Amino acid sequence: MELFVMSLINGIMVGGVYALVALGWVLIYKCSGVLNLAMGELTLIGAYVTLTFYQIGVPFVLAIIITLFIGIILGILVERIFLDRLIGEPILAVLMVTVGLSFFFKGIIEFIWEAKTRAFTPPVFSLEPIEIGFIKISSVYLWSFILAIVLFLLFSAFFKYSHWGLAMQATADDETAALSVGVSARFVYAAAWAIAFMSAGVGGALLGNINGVNISTGYLGLLVLPAVVLGGLNSIPGAVLGGITIGVLQNLSGTYLDQYFPGGVKEVFPFAFMVVFMLFKPYGFWGWERIERM
């Protein structure tokens, strides 16, 4: 029983970080109707930039803020250089450009930072776990969870109440129609990419605190995909719920299934779950079910 509760709680906490990365995914999908497959690399860039600043002596919070600013600049640059020319092109083209970008970034990241594992030294969060009764939570998880929830509230308010947020939703729904009523698609894309860079960057920095930063942190970025599917690709609450569900599933499968299937069951179980889930509920819990007519 204790084991179950422990892995449940840890799963929820890790799920918070996944939710943060999933948020970046959902944002880009919601704004531009594109699944951004470069997300794993965006988390990597965030993690490495924060790490670099942290190691030259900048305090962690300041390093995160610098990462956010660099994220905005990179997001706008990427949008202006690559995606600006693709407005109105078929979705597959835009999708593959994000794949191309992901390789481009990955190559550059490996070129600059090499493929070694780096850790945040000295550790940012205290290594002493916080104890509530018999439950032990490491403080990295707890802080990440709190940060994820705060950012989640900020972003959903942005989409619901601000003029720009509505413009972004309109663009995702029907780009041509949005253009015709005077929404600037260029601005919307730039904003979406900037926000995605920001949220993925923070997510990457937090994940880097948990496991250390190396190229496979980018793979963790991909692991978030089942979370996005579970919630539906275009729902912010869905991203959070999906993230937490995947975190829990991962931890529970790691605890209980690892003895029967030794090896990477933890990494694969969310994907297997996703395939089966999609057979029954193809558009997730809150995804747009497109009703098509001739």
Partner 1 sequence: MSNVWLPCGLYHQKYSEDHGWWQTPVIKGKMILLLALVFIIFPLTLTGYWFGVANMIGYTAMGALGVQILIGYAGLVTLGHAAFIAVGAYTSTLLILQFPWPQILVDWGLAYPISIIIAGILAGLWSVLFGLPSAKVKGFYLILTTMAAQFITVDFLITQYVSQIGGRGQAFSLPPGTIKIGPWVIDSELKTYFLMAVLLTLSVMIFANLLRSKVGRAWIAIRDNDIAAETMGINIIWYKLLNFFVAGFIAGLAGAFWVSNTAALSPEHFPWFWSLWLVGVILIGGVGSIHGVIFGSVFMVLIMEFIQYGVMLLGDVYPDLMIKFLYIKESVFGLAICVFLIFQPRGLSYRWWQIKNYFNLWPFSY
Task: Note the residues at the interface with partner 1 (CB under 8 A).
Answer: 29, 35, 37, 82, 85-86, 89, 91-93, 95-97, 99-108, 110-111, 222, 225-226, 229, 233, 261-265, 267-268, 271-272, 274-275, 278-279, 282-283, 292-294
Q: Which tokens go with 44? A: 């990597």
> Please, what is the minimum distance in Å from the beta carbon of residue 100 to partner 1?
3
Looking at the Cβ atoms of 203 and 218, the one nearer to partner 1 is: 218
Looking at the Cβ atoms of 144 and 287, the one nearer to partner 1 is: 287
> Please, what is the minimum distance in Å from the beta carbon of residue 44 to partner 1?
13
DSSP strands (E only) in the chain: 130-132, 135-137
Looking at the Cβ atoms of 112 and 177, the one nearer to partner 1 is: 112
> Please, what is the minimum distance in Å from the beta carbon of residue 155 to partner 1?
20
**What's the CA gap between 31 and 155, in Å, rounded?**
13
- Of 274, 153, 266, give the one whose Cα is nearest residue 220: 266
Looking at the Cβ atoms of 21 and 64, the one nearer to partner 1 is: 21
> Please, what is the minimum distance in Å from the beta carbon of residue 6 to partner 1?
25
> Please, what is the minimum distance in Å from the beta carbon of residue 161 to partner 1?
28
**What's the CA gap between 216 and 206, in Å, rounded?**
14
Peptide bond into 122 cis (omega under 30): yes
List beta partners, residue 132: 135
> Please, what is the minimum distance in Å from the beta carbon of residue 274 to partner 1?
6
**What's the CA gap between 139 and 261, in Å, rounded?**
30
Looking at the Cβ atoms of 134 and 260, the one nearer to partner 1 is: 260
**What's the CA gap between 276 and 206, in Å, rounded?**
30
- Of 270, 269, 274, give the one whose Cα is nearest residue 284: 274
**What's the CA gap between 76 and 283, in Å, rounded?**
30
Looking at the Cβ atoms of 154 and 275, the one nearer to partner 1 is: 275
Looking at the Cβ atoms of 8 and 80, the one nearer to partner 1 is: 80
Helical segments of 114-173, H only: 139-161, 163-173
The radius of gyration of the chain from alpha carbons, rounded to an integer in Å, stands at: 19
> Please, what is the minimum distance in Å from the beta carbon of residue 114 to partner 1?
9
Terminal-to-terminal C-alpha distance of the chain:
54
